[in-house]
Amino acid sequence: MTTAEKQFPFNQSFVWYPSDEVIERSRLRRFMERHNLPDLDALMEKSTTDIAWFWEAVLDDLGIEFYEPYTQIVDLSAGVPWAQWCVGGKMNIVHNCLDKWMDTPTQNRVAIRWEGEEGVTRILSYRDLFRAVNKMANALRAAGFGKGDAIGLYMPMTPEIVIALLAIAKIGGVILPLFSGFGPSAIATRLNDADAKALFVADGVYRRGKTIKMKPVADEALADVPSVEKVIVFPRLSIETPLTPGRDVLWDDFIAGQSAAAPTERTAAEDLLMIIYTSGTTGRPKGAVHTHCGFPIKGAQDMAHGFDIQAFDTMFWMSDMGWMMGPWEVFGTLILGATMMLFDGAPNYPDVDRVWDLVEKHGVTCLGLAPTFARAIMPYGDEPVKKHDLSSLRAFGSTGEAWNPDPWLWLFNTVGGGKIPIINYSGGTEISGGIVLGNMLTPAKPCAFSGPPPGMAADVVDEFGEPVRGAVGELVVKQPWIGMTRGFWKDPDRYLESYWNKLPNIWVHGDFAAIDDDGMWYILGRSDDTIKVAGKRVGPAEVESILVSHPAVAEAAAIGVPDEMKGQVVVAFAVLHGNVAPSEELRAELKALVAKEMGKPLAPKDIRFVDAIPQTRNAKVMRRVIKAAYLGKPAGDLSALVNPEAVEGIKSAR
């Protein structure tokens, strides 16, 4: 048995099975029946060998409406990396999110449930949202903005950020989502790269009872962004905020007098909809390019086939609009006629049960979280969970990083009562959703994925591109899909180098993965984070999983550092639970634990204790930053970090 098999626990027993009721209500089941496919294996085979049939079937299943029909569902004439979809078709995704629901019963359903950290709540129906988006679209047009103009979003998760996002798309503009925790340099870099013409910003946010100003950060950034002509300021805190004459305008003043009716721009299906920036290891961030018929369609399909979201569901994914899961939740729920739940605040303030309170209060049926949240909340015990009625929940969603067994089982058993599936989800911004995903028809194992969602021709291969089973390999995709990024903004060569140049016409995602004897899939971390000790390849997540299994360790990160004799050795960083003090005895105990589980040659050379692990806004461990800090090298782009102060902690750790 390999170390990976020990830690991710391959070939363990299934712990969840779908009930007859779950199967009966499943959208995925109905999709298979509609197309006379006997089971999921048959669907996977057909969806990945006849991609034109499948994505056309998805468009039909989602009820996507076109102003003018497409002449070809997919065109590969420019090469697989540059696939074009819905060729010749005219459609605007906002029509499919809002316009088409008007004068139907859906217009009176709840589109948005929102709660702020201070406890204020709001509810918007589909009709409310439609009218608000129209007013903002009219205001943007009156200010001179239109098709092709890039407009930034630097706001917290309030209904206004959804209104702004949809209004930009409605006029044919280009959405630029920005993480609400960005500093001036990160904002300026992205706005300049996209030649942004306007920016939506809030005056500030509440975080842990304190007010954090956002407008001054934006002002500092905009000093270096000459292309921005207008700044629309939403008074989230209603605090005094300096306005630059001629450029800045308050939200209510901007939309004053505007009609609640507005035409939707008849964009081409492949017109640019959104650029979502992801951090690169070095140099400027990568701008993933997405179109009207791309990102929203893939997101809604995953939401329907994986999470089984239907019109009566309320999805709450703990996210920021600057992370792809923010736009994913907006587009997916609205296309499906469901409800999105937004929360603008810290998930453990004023107490550790805040998320469970939100689930109970707003009737959340699908809760999306990162494993980091479960690890952080688990030490507080079961009582914060048990004091709330969580009977509305039907499913958990999880993404952002790999699980380890203890927190997975805690979420499943303590929060879910052993009855609610954890739908594991992994892919990325460039994917528009998942390469691997759980579903409501397949039994679940701890930490595992059911497999690729329909339409994703994923595989696990060795360095030569040959499939491997029962061993660790590279995660790849062998067919294009409708949500695939249309490249990196202004950087086609970087796009090809990142995904396409390793194996001919195969997307190499950069993750290690494995498939067990029951066909369950596991993501084992980034392949570029691989540690090679004396020729033995080790995934950092394997080491980390062992460390966090120790009762003293809350979080961990492992890196490979150069060694003259072994090529590389393992160095690990551990965050201890609050009641545990660092000691040489504990360090030795943790080293011995890893050595016992993985073998003495793979034991860490050093384990250092830190207060925090550098992580992105979607809870991914930034190992390349940790490695650079440890080695005293430039750390590269840090704009995606939610805790940049943790980098100094790595440097000074002993």
Residue 83 lies in a domain: yes
Is the per-residue pLDDT at 17 higher than 60?
yes
Q: Are 424 and 281 found together in one domain? A: yes
Kindly give, in sequence order, each residue whose CB lies less than 8 Å from that of residue 360, ignoring residues fewer than 6 positions away: 388, 389, 390, 392
Question: What's the distance, CA 244 to chain centroid?
Answer: 34
Tokens for 536? 């033995």
Q: What is the pLDDT of residues 523-570, one digit of tens each?
A: 987 776 767 776 666 768 778 878 988 999 998 999 989 887 777 889
Is the per-residue pLDDT at 520 higher than 70?
yes
Distance CA 478, CA 455 (A): 11
223, amino acid identity: A
Q: What is the pLDDT of residue 33?
A: 98
Is the per-residue pLDDT at 38 higher than 50?
yes
Last residue of a domain, one of 525, 553, 586: 525
Q: Are 574 and 507 found together in one domain? A: no
Q: Are 519 and 539 found together in one domain? A: no
CATH number of the CATH domain containing 221? 3.40.50.980
Query: Domain range for residue 604?
Result: 531-652
CATH number of the CATH domain containing 566? 3.30.300.30
Question: What's the distance, CA 309 to chain centroid?
Answer: 17
Mean pLDDT, all residues of the chain: 92
Share of the chain above pLDDT 90, in %: 77
- Split at pLDDT 50, 70, 90, the class of 313 is very high
Q: What is the pLDDT of residue 7?
A: 45
The answer to whether the beta carbons of residues 571 and 604 sit under 8 Å apart is: yes
Q: What is the pLDDT of residue 281?
A: 41
Residue 92 lies in a domain: yes
Q: What is the pLDDT of residue 3?
A: 40
Is the per-residue pLDDT at 57 higher than 90?
yes
The answer to whether the beta carbons of residues 360 and 316 sit under 8 Å apart is: no
Higher pLDDT, 531 or 489: 489
Sheet arrangement for strand 507-515: 458-461, 473-477, 507-515, 521-526
Q: Which single residue is written with the structure tokens 């995602």?
A: 509
Q: What is the pTM for the complete model shown?
A: 0.88
- Split at pLDDT 50, 70, 90, the class of 282 is very low
Quick one: average pLDDT of 596-624?
A: 83
Q: What is the pLDDT of residue 1?
A: 33
Q: Are 388 and 515 found together in one domain? A: yes
Q: What is the pLDDT of residue 526?
A: 75
- Split at pLDDT 50, 70, 90, the class of 114 is very high
Residue 263 lies in a domain: no
Residue 120 lies in a domain: no
Higher pLDDT, 8 or 412: 412
Q: What is the pLDDT of residue 6?
A: 43
Residue 104 lies in a domain: no
Q: What is the pLDDT of residues 158-213, one digit of tens each?
A: 999 999 999 999 999 999 999 998 888 889 999 999 999 999 999 999 999 999 99
Distance CA 396, CA 366 (A): 6
Higher pLDDT, 184 or 9: 184
Q: How far is CA 335 from CA 99, 199, 260, 317, in A?
A: 11, 26, 21, 16
Q: What is the pLDDT of residue 615?
A: 85
Q: Are 436 and 567 found together in one domain? A: no
Q: Are 543 and 520 found together in one domain? A: no
Quick one: average pLDDT of 456-462?
A: 97
Q: Are 476 and 542 found together in one domain? A: no
Of 519, 547, 512, 548, whose CA–CA distance to 408 is shortest? Answer: 548
Q: Are 515 and 582 found together in one domain? A: no
Quick one: average pLDDT of 589-602?
A: 83
Is the per-residue pLDDT at 593 higher than 70?
yes
Quick one: average pLDDT of 82-92?
A: 98
Q: Are 76 and 181 found together in one domain? A: no
Residue 34 lies in a domain: yes
Among 275-279, 338-342, 404-408, name the most confident range: 338-342
Q: What is the pLDDT of residue 10?
A: 60
Last residue of a domain, one of 475, 494, 525: 525
Q: How many domains does the chain have?
A: 3
Q: What is the pLDDT of residue 535?
A: 61
Least confident of 183-187, 441-445, 463-467, 532-536: 532-536
Residue 122 lies in a domain: no
Bridge partner list, 444: 16
Is the per-residue pLDDT at 279 higher than 70?
no
Is the per-residue pLDDT at 580 higher than 70?
yes
Is the per-residue pLDDT at 40 higher than 50?
yes
Quick one: average pLDDT of 501-521?
A: 94
Quick one: average pLDDT of 451-469?
A: 95
Higher pLDDT, 8 or 163: 163
Quick one: average pLDDT of 215-228?
A: 97
Q: Are 521 and 540 found together in one domain? A: no
Distance CA 206, CA 346 (A): 9
375, amino acid identity: R
Q: What is the pLDDT of residues 329-385, one digit of tens each?
A: 999 999 999 999 999 999 999 999 999 999 999 999 999 998 889 988 998 999 999
Residue 262 lies in a domain: no
Q: Alpha helices, DSSP H only, in 62-213?
A: 93-97, 126-142, 159-170, 184-193
DSSP, residue by residue, 265-303: P--BTTSEEEEEEE--SSSSPEEEEEETTTHHHHHHHHH
CATH number of the CATH domain containing 397? 3.40.50.12780
Q: Are 132 and 163 found together in one domain? A: yes
Q: Are 370 and 317 found together in one domain? A: yes
Last residue of a domain, one of 214, 231, 255: 255
Q: What is the pLDDT of residue 642?
A: 78
Q: How far is CA 574 from CA 98, 99, 313, 375, 555, in A?
A: 47, 51, 39, 13, 6
